[in-house]
Chain A
Amino acid sequence: MDVQLSWNLVHDVRQLLEFHFMVNALRAGTIVAVVAGAIGYVMVLRRQSFAGHTLALLGFPGAAGAVWLGLDASVGFFGFCIAAALILGLAPAGRAGEQSAVIGIVQSFGLACGLLFVSLYHGFLSGLNNLLFGTIVGVTDRQVLVLLVAGVVALGALAALGRPLLFASIDEAAARSRGVPTRLVGVAFLVLLGVAAAGASQVTGSLLVFALLVAPAATAVRLTARPVVGLVLSVVIALVVTWLGEGAAYFSTYPIGFWVTTFAFGLFLLASGYRAVVK
């Protein structure tokens, strides 16, 4: 493979789309960015970043376990992330602050299981990096289709939850008094978060999911206080960093996870700087 970045943008894009694996990577990245940008925005609004982080990490034992059992990795990503979301959502809340301890325990146990599965499947070690930090090669047509279906369902569910989710996120007691089933809404949202984390894991790897789930949203909330504008902005930022990251990974020798995270971090710094100057 001999690709060279030039100043001719049309030529660069043509090079990008030359190989089928790269087309699939861009398809998967686009789907994942839209879903993670939208759901990540609500996650930041609800301050559930730690839960989102845990769900993302739990994709790793899921995928490692699936590969060990000879299944498709995406089965493991989605299965584990959704199951973990249900556990976190349905576990009794207990005292304030205890929730994060429960999440932390679940998280470390999940990582330990992932390590066990990797060691049980001896030939798998080369894939460990890809599971943790992402790769642009090897996204199959089937995987793209799974991501598309999961993404459409998740975004549809997010739209259906809509206003009650926003209400419960910023003003839970008032929402409950108005008859919003806040607990149900919370569990449903965690499941959506699990879907978004599982999808994003397949592009950026489990450890770097936050580049797509939290960075675009955190950037967006620094730029606008309008919920709808913020959500759209978060999606746009996620798309831009994904496309830029995938392009950069293609033309360079460095991994995609590094590029996506770097671009996301750069935009976040710019937005923070803008806020500091404007204020």
Chain B
Amino acid sequence: MTTSAVRLEHASADRGGRVVWSDVSVEIPRGEFVAVLGPNGVGKSTLLQVVLGLLPLKAGHVDVLGRPAGRANARIGYLPQRRAFDPATPVRGVDVVRLGLDGDRWGVPLPFAGRWTAAGRARNERVREVIDVVGAAGYADRPIGQCSGGEQQRLLIAQALVREPELLLLDEPLDSLDVTNQASVSALIQHVCRSLGVAVMLVAHDVNPILPYLDKVLYLAHGGALMGPPEEVITADTLSMLYGTPIDVLHDRAGRLVVVGQPDAAAAHAPH
């Protein structure tokens, strides 16, 4: 068993002939909570696609859970970037979680398999168990479209977790949530990471809500990448250099970091 969940060596990726990032060499250890950050259009989601083996590298090498990318996907839980479910979606939260377990198996389960066969019972139990882990038991039987954004996100995390993955890839899971839910979902992800030993790569827009829960940050910028513990990487000088615009890093009275002036607008004007 290798010690790294993901290892990139001099990796470069392009989309439609345009280089998104190049010469990226980083290693994400097992069981660590890493945020993937950087300006818009810098290829954060592309990095997840590469790790899943959905997008071949232009150059370099990528190892995922000790195997070439794409070969270990059964051991990866992936939460794609998404908008909320339509309110009229006539499917319960528990069904959505269940699809994470056996949604890729052809056919339909035997009627009442959950009552009559041991394997069916075990599957039902696993679904209930993972719903308890994310604290969604109270609303898992409601139609998912009628759950709040935070509740939907917890159910989707349960879907990603249901097969006991060793690596969790979350693409902007906090994007559509209010501040309170951003904090509680971040705490949940940290809890999952610690108690189940799952490595987490979380793509985020804004570092502040997740900062207290992270082990490391991985900054992607035009050209390359920079990874390390937040207190080392998140400095005014480093961020200003990465984003190409002045950024301040403040410390509040509890010693927590706050990034100010993270410039999505400015980044959008940056030449690609």
Contact = CB atoms under 8 A, between A and B. Distances in A.
A45 B90 contact: yes
A170 B78 contact: no
B80 A230 contact: no
Contacts of A163: 99, 102-109
A173 B108 CA distance: 21
Contacts of B104: 163-164, 167, 175, 178-180
A225 B89 CA distance: 8
A108 interface: no
B49 to A, nearest CB: 9
A175 B80 CA distance: 10
A161 B103 CA distance: 10
A226 B95 CA distance: 8
Given A170-B96, A177-B73, A159 B107 contact: yes
Nearest to A220: B90
A164 B96 contact: no
- Interface residue SS majority, chain B: loop
A77 B102 CA distance: 36
Contacts of A270: none
B228 to A, nearest CB: 28
A178 to B, nearest CB: 5
Contact of B142 (A45, A179, A225): A225
Interface string B98-119: 0110111111110000000000
Contact of A173 (B82, B91, B95, B109): B82
Interface string B77-101: 0111110010011111001100110
B143 interface: yes
Residue with the greatest number of chain B CB neighbours at <10 A, chosen from A162, A164, A170: A170
Which of B85, B89, B102, B104 is most buried by chain A, counting CB atoms within 10 A of its CB?
B104
B107 A180 contact: no
B190 interface: no
B159 A226 contact: no
B80 A174 contact: yes
Given A45-B90, A177-B52, A226-B92, A160 B107 contact: yes
A132 interface: no
A174 B77 CA distance: 9
B54 interface: yes
A106 interface: no
A171 interface: yes
A167 B162 CA distance: 15
A159 B108 contact: yes
B73 A174 contact: no
B99 A171 contact: yes
B103 A167 contact: yes
A164 B89 contact: no
Contact of A174 (B54, B100, B108): B100
B200 to A, nearest CB: 16
B107 A177 contact: no
Nearest to A177: B78
A179 B38 CA distance: 29
Contacts of B102: 163
B106 A160 contact: yes
Interface in B30-73: 52, 54, 73
Nearest to B92: A225
Contacts of A267: none
A238 interface: no
Given A221-B88, A225-B90, A230-B90, A164 B80 contact: no
Nearest to A221: B90
A90 B91 CA distance: 28
B167 to A, nearest CB: 12
A177 B99 contact: no
B103 A164 contact: yes
A178 B90 contact: no
A180 B104 CA distance: 6
A166 interface: yes
Interface in B145-161: 156, 159-160
Contact of B91 (A159, A170, A178, A180): A170
8 contacts: A163-B109, A164-B106, A171-B99, A174-B100, A175-B103, A178-B104, A226-B95, A230-B90
Given A174-B159, A227-B90, A227-B91, 5 more contacts: A45-B91, A159-B108, A162-B108, A164-B106, A175-B99
Interface of B: 52, 54, 73, 78-82, 85, 88-92, 95-96, 99-100, 102-109, 142-143, 156, 159-160
Interface of A: 45, 159-164, 166-167, 170-171, 173-180, 220-221, 224-227, 230
For the complex of A and B, list the 4 residue pairs with the smallest distance between their C-beta atoms, beginning with the closest: A167-B103, A173-B80, A221-B90, A225-B143
